[in-house]
Structures are given as C-alpha cells and as structure tokens.
Amino acid sequence: MEMLGKFISSVREKTPLVHHITNYVTVNDCANITLCIGASPVMAHAEEEVEEMVSMAGALVLNIGTLDSQQITRMFLAGKAAGKLGLPIILDPVGAGATSFRTKTAQRMIQELPISVLKGNAGEIGTLAGIQAEVRGVDSGGMSGDPVEITRILAERLGSTVVMSGVIDVVSDGNCIMQCENGHPFMGRLSGTGCMAASIIGACAAVFSDYLRSSAAGITAFGIAGERAAADAAGPGSFKYRLFDHMATVTGDDVNQYGRVRVL
C-alpha cells in the first residue's frame, strides 16, 4: 500500500478552510467531521458572499442533496470563482439519476466547472457515466457493469478524480486505480456519511493537489474511524457519535498501518 498518512498529517498541521455549499439535512455533520479531521469548515451559501468566501478557502465542496434553483446559482458563482483561483472543487452529485432536475444539474456542473473530485455512490456515478443505474431517492440502487472500469473511464473522460463509494471504495484519475477497503456496514445505515466523506476529501485536497491520493487517504482515514466506532457501538445512533470521536484521533501513522488500499 502507498504511504498515504502524510495527507492526514498535513491536514492536521495546516488546518485548511473548506467552504461548503451543501444540503440542509447533513450540514452540521459535515461541519463537525471537517473539524474532526483537523480542517476548518465554513457553510456559506448567500449569493452575496460565496465568491468572497471562496477566495479565503483551500477547497470548495458542492453537494446537491437538497437542490433548488437559487442554490444552483450560488454553486456556479462559487465554482467559477474557485476555478479562477485554481482551488479544488469536490462535487457530491447526491441523487443524480433520481430526477431529471438533479441529473441535468450534475451534468451541467461537470461540463461547466473544473471539478477536481467527483464523489458519488454507484447509482450516481453510473448515471453520470451513462451506464444503466438505479437511484432510490438519494440512495444507490445499484449499477450494471464493472465499478472499477466505470470509475476509471469516467475519470479519464472528465480529466478529474472520481470516487465511487461502496463496500469497497474505488478511486481513479483515469490512469491509476485504487481500491480502499476500510469501513463498516453501520456507515451505510446513517444519512450523511457520504456527505461527510466529501468533506474529508475536500480537507485533504486543500493541502495536496494530488487528488487521487488525497481522496484515497481521506476515504481510508474515514473508514478506519468507522471500524473503530463500530467496535463498541450498540447501533447506528451510538455509532454516529463514536464516528466523530474516532475521526478526531485517526493519525497519519494509523492510515499507513491500518489502511487497506490496493493499487490496481
């Protein structure tokens, strides 16, 4: 396994500001998990300030989970400002494939904004790759085809890093493919863990422009925290609070020692 711990250590040392325009269901969870990995979150969405806030940040996270037309306008303002500054943009296309509104918005974003990392579940990534996929509300219902190859092909097409979350997370920049195997089933029984993963990736991308490995490092650290949280959790509720506790204590050395990452 590649030594990915340096990405986590650097986040804790540099405390980058991560600007989110995200959904109102999980906004607090995203802010807290960003703090737990050692970064600083800001959840600014007003049209009057998003461009100014981006200029202070190290990364921009866009999440379309509770999408509306005003939010789309704000996301494009922030995204274009981030592009001009060369800041990484992480897009979480929540629910792409569920409705034409979400799908077309996500497609427009990857066409018009310089997305650095596209992170979604199998249904969302499959939809954006043009593969038959099923999305139930904002949950993945599966996808036809090989997840590894679909992730690689979409990353190559977009010229971005693509992360397909699942039991095994697949990360590719179109050339290299990494499989991240840490995690626990409890992570799939809570709303917001996918959104939190995007925040963690944003924190790592803010300090390293190697978006393939910074994404893999963030996903791996989050998976290790999930495994540790599940070890003494009675169920999803207690797991959630322990997830924050353990995310706050995962170190770069932990990622190097306990991370299960395969380079294909």
User: 185: exposed, middle or buried (C-beta count within 10 Å: 0-12, 13-18, 19+)?
Assistant: exposed
**Is 240 known as a binding-site position?**
no
Three-class DSSP category at 161: strand
Q: Which amino acid appears at position 174 of this protein?
A: G
Three-class DSSP category at 15: coil
Q: Which amino acid appears at position 135 of this protein?
A: V
> Beta-carbon neighbour count of residue 120 at 10 Å?
27
Tokens standing for 7? 């990405």
Tokens standing for 238? 């207690």
Distance in angstroms (rounded) separating the CA atoms of residues 42 and 76? 17
Paired sense of beta strands 89-92 and 169-172, if any: unpaired
**Is 165 known as a binding-site position?**
yes
Element at 149 (helix H, strand E): helix 147-158
**Is 6 known as a binding-site position?**
no
Distance in angstroms (rounded) separating the CA atoms of residues 114 and 159? 9
For CA atoms 154, 158, 40, 14, the dihedral sign is: positive
Distance in angstroms (rounded) separating the CA atoms of residues 50 and 132? 35
**Is 119 known as a binding-site position?**
yes
Q: Which residues make up each annotated binding site for ATP?
A: 119, 165
Q: Which residues make up each annotated binding site for substrate?
A: 43, 192
Q: Which residues make up each annotated binding site?
A: 43, 119, 165, 192
